[in-house]
């Protein structure tokens, strides 16, 4: 054992006594919720020991054109939470949030109503470019993504994050962007772990494109553990009333993913080309035909827009008046008639990776290697993202600070255990011990011994 000087010991002890948390640690919410967190185990979501099924709606009043955060506006969210409670849903998906604003009131109001939120980490200004992904995967983009994680990780009803939405579409060239979406997923999972947050699931929301659906799903669940998604979701509009489990082709979507290895759910569903929607697909999602593979889904959508999918009409964004459409009652009836199944629903207890897809005419990715995280973003793993740019920031598409090569598989593993230093509210866990009493005790012992030696 190396000897050390008394002065250096005293300096070390003093340092322990004055240690403080980093400046970018998230602030706790203003109100604690008793709503339990949702976790991933095997190929399903769990609320404690109870299987959790996503029974919700896609929520973006005003649509993407307005680029407004409904969870940062208490008047808007409280108006709509009243309708969510009338429906009987347990989850909403929000496509656009502002990482520079406070969300305590809305997230706590949702928690009080028993409602979880799945959040897209991108927004129109900060996202991966479908056809020019390399320069868009940069440190400015990732700082915004990480700031969104910081903004919502403290809430127990943050169910999951999406690393992208329909970035890959039916164009073969768009599949080249999959490497960058997967790298973002890896980076988000590592940031969550390194910052000491609970293990909030991260996954991707895919377009339902027959030519690359299975390749993309396998790609997001192949490779080393740090490179794999926690779940996979896709947007599906193949069940158009009148239809059924066989006619819609959903039977094949169950067979094709029977041994997929991680949770799957529908991030959008609800075809409206047949006019009146009976939501028979929701009954299928809650049936034994699907529960061994799928964990529910999100009906598109809550607020009426130009595409006429909404189940309510809102006069304007700030209006107090919400008019329920006929689909509202039918969806509420479907939710009431088909409760979440009891038991495990056929869920598998273990998870596993898939084989990475090989290049073909419809899938142009020819390497299993992912882009290395940009150096500027890598530094944020320790320092934290700091203040987010919000929705008024200049954007990130060609901001510079890009990746300079490929990452070594396994290099994206978190270097801190989830929740090892902070719980969901950013507070120290019981396992995180205050060093000050030990520092003082050590100082007393040291001085005592020093005095003894001098006698």
pLDDT digits (tens, 9 = 90+) for 262-276: 999 999 999 999 778
pLDDT tier at 317, thresholds 50, 70, 90: low
Q: Any catalytic annotation for residue 139?
A: no
Residue with tokens 């005003």: 62
Task: Indicate the pTM of the whole model.
Answer: 0.85
Catalytic residue, from 166, 227, 281, 333: name it. 166
Q: Are residues 173 and 98 in the same domain?
A: yes
Q: What is the DSSP string of 342-406?
A: SS-TT--S---PBPPPPP-SS-----S--BPPPHHHHTHHHH---S--GGGS---TT-S-B--SB
**Length of the chain in terms of residues written:** 455
pLDDT of residue 275: 76
Q: Are 283 and 241 in contact (CB under 8 A)?
A: no
d(CA 248, CA 243): 6
d(CA 272, CA 435): 60
* Phi, psi (rounded to 5 degrees) for 18: -110, 5
Q: Are residues 186 and 225 in the same domain?
A: yes
Catalytic residue, from 139, 268, 281, 301: name it. 268
Q: Which residue has the higher pLDDT, 91 or 433?
A: 91
Q: Is the pLDDT of residue 129 over 80?
A: yes
Q: Are residues 260 and 198 in the same domain?
A: yes
- 280 falls within a domain: yes
Burial class (CB in 10 A: 0-12, 13-18, 19+), 88: middle
Q: Any catalytic annotation for residue 281?
A: no
Number of domains in the chain: 2
Picking from 64, 70, 62, the residue whose alpha carbon sits closest to that of residue 115 is 70
- 405 falls within a domain: no
Domain finish residue from 340, 368, 392: 392
83: domain CATH number?
3.20.20.80
Q: Is the pLDDT of residue 394 over 50?
A: yes
Residues 137-177: pLDDT tens digits?
999 999 999 999 999 999 999 999 999 999 999 999 999 99
Q: Are residues 310 and 446 in the same domain?
A: no
pLDDT tier at 320, thresholds 50, 70, 90: confident
pLDDT of residue 358: 97
Q: How far is CA 236 from CA 210, 253, 272, 364, in A?
A: 11, 10, 12, 23
Q: Are residues 448 and 332 in the same domain?
A: no
- 261 falls within a domain: yes
Between 151-165, 191-205, 257-271, 418-432, the lowest mean confidence (pLDDT) is in 418-432
């Amino acid at each position: 054992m190396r000897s050390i000087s008394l002065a250096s010991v005293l300096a070390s002890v003093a340092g322990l006594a004055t240690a403080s948390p980093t400046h970018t640690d998230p602030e706790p919410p203003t109100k604690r919720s008793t709503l339990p967190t949702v976790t991933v185990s095997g190929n399903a979501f769990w609320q404690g020991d109870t299987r959790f099924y996503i029974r919700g709606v896609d929520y973006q009043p005003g649509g993407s054109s307005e680029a407004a955060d409904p969870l940062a506006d208490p008047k808007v969210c409280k108006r709509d939470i009243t309708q969510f409670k009338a429906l009987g849903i347990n989850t909403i998906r929000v496509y656009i949030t502002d990482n520079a604003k406070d969300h305590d009131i809305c997230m706590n109001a949702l928690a009080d109503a028993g409602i979880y939120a799945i959040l897209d980490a991108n927004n129109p200004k900060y996202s991966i470019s479908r056809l020019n992904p390399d320069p868009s995967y940069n440190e400015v983009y990732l700082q915004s993504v990480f700031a969104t994680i910081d903004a919502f990780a403290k809430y127990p009803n943050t169910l999951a994050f999406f690393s992208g939405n329909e970035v890959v579409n039916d164009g073969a060239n768009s599949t080249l962007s999959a490497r960058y979406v997967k790298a973002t997923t890896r980076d988000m999972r590592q940031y969550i772990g390194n910052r000491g947050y609970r293990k909030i699931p991260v996954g991707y929301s895919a377009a339902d494109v027959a030519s690359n659906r299975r390749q993309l799903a396998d790609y997001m669940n192949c490779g080393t553990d740090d490179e794999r998604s926690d779940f996979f979701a896709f947007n599906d509009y193949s069940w158009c009333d009148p239809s059924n489990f066989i006619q819609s082709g959903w039977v094949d979507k169950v067979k094709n993913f029977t041994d997929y290895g991680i949770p799957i759910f529908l991030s959008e569903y609800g075809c409206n080309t047949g006019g009146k929607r009976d939501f028979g697909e929701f009954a299928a999602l809650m049936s034994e035909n699907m529960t061994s593979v799928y964990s529910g889904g999100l009906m598109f959508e809550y607020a009426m827009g130009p595409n006429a999918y909404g189940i309510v009409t809102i006069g304007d964004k700030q209006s107090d008046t919400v008019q329920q459409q006929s689909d509202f009652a039918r969806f509420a009836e479907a939710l009431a008639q088909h409760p979440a199944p009891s038991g495990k629903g056929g869920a598998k207890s273990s998870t596993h990776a898939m084989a990475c897809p090989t290049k073909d005419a419809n899938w142009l990715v020819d390497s299993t290697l992912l882009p290395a995280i940009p150096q500027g973003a890598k530094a944020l793993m320790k320092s934290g993202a700091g203040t987010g740019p919000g929705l008024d920031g200049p954007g990130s598409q060609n901001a510079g600070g890009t990746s300079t090569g490929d990452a070594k598989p396994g290099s994206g593993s978190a270097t801190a255990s989830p929740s090892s230093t902070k719980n969901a509210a950013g507070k120290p866990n019981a396992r995180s011990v205050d060093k000050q009493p030990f520092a003082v005790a050590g100082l007393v012992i040291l001085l005592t011994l020093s005095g003894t030696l001098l006698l």
